[in-house]
């Protein structure tokens, strides 16, 4: 299988969700270890809400995590589930970013994931996004 960004990994029996990690320059680092993300998802019993996790190479300002829920009637492969994307940060900010995500971001993410499974049909009928960014050392979350 090609390692191009367009390729979408297939789930296996051993993995509860699809996973893809892009190579990044040595000056950058992904802000959260996969094992820490998995531990939070397992502790909150929300693995089934997640379709794919991407550790991407693209940067988007101060954004460090994006989670997107796709409506159940969507033709997209993740319909009724969530894709989580972690964006790289400068290597020197990785530890502080990880601490903010562990203390504030992951609890917010798992609560949001839990809501995707229990929300009413009206909510589940539209696309929703949870975006986390760090501005001035403060984690800001927006739910759209």
Number of domains in the chain: 1
- Kindly state whether residue 3 falls inside one of the protein's structural domains: no
Is position 1 within any domain? no
Is residue 60 one of the residues assigned to a domain? Answer: yes
pLDDT at residue number 138: 93
The string of DSSP letters for 10-52 reads PP-TT-SSEEEE----TTEE-SS-HHHHHHHHHHTT-GGGEEE
Q: Which residues pair with 82 in a beta bridge?
A: 50, 69
**90 domain-assigned:** yes
Structural domain for 31, as ranges:
18-143
CB-based contacts of 5, cutoff 8 Å, min separation 6: 22, 56, 57
Residue 15: what pLDDT? 65
Indicate whether 77 belongs to any domain.
yes
Is 13 part of any domain? no
Going residue by residue through the chain (144 aa), what tens digit of pLDDT does each one get?
334 444 444 443 346 788 889 999 999 999 999 999 999 998 998 888 898 999 999 989 899 999 999 887 766 677 778 999 999 999 999 999 999 999 999 999 999 999 888 777 777 778 889 999 999 999 999 988
The reply to whether 113 falls in a domain is yes
Note the pLDDT of residue 123: 75
**pTM value?**
0.83
Residue 71 lies in a domain: yes
Residue linked to tokens 């320059």: 25
């Amino acid at each position: 299988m090609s390692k191009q960004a367009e390729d979408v990994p297939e789930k296996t029996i051993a993995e509860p969700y699809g996973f893809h990690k892009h190579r990044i320059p040595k000056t950058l680092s992904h802000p959260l270890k996969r094992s820490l993300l998995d531990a939070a998802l397992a502790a909150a019993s929300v693995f089934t809400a997640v379709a794919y996790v991407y550790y991407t190479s693209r940067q988007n300002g101060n954004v460090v995590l994006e989670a997107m829920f796709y409506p159940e009637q969507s033709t997209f492969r993740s319909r009724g589930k969530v894709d989580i994307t972690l964006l790289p940060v400068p290597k020197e900010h990785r530890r502080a970013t990880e601490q903010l995500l562990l203390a504030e971001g992951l609890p917010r993410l798992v609560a949001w994931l839990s809501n995707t499974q229990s929300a009413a049909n009206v909510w589940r009928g539209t696309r929703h996004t949870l975006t986390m960014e760090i501005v001035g050392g403060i984690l800001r979350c927006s739910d759209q």
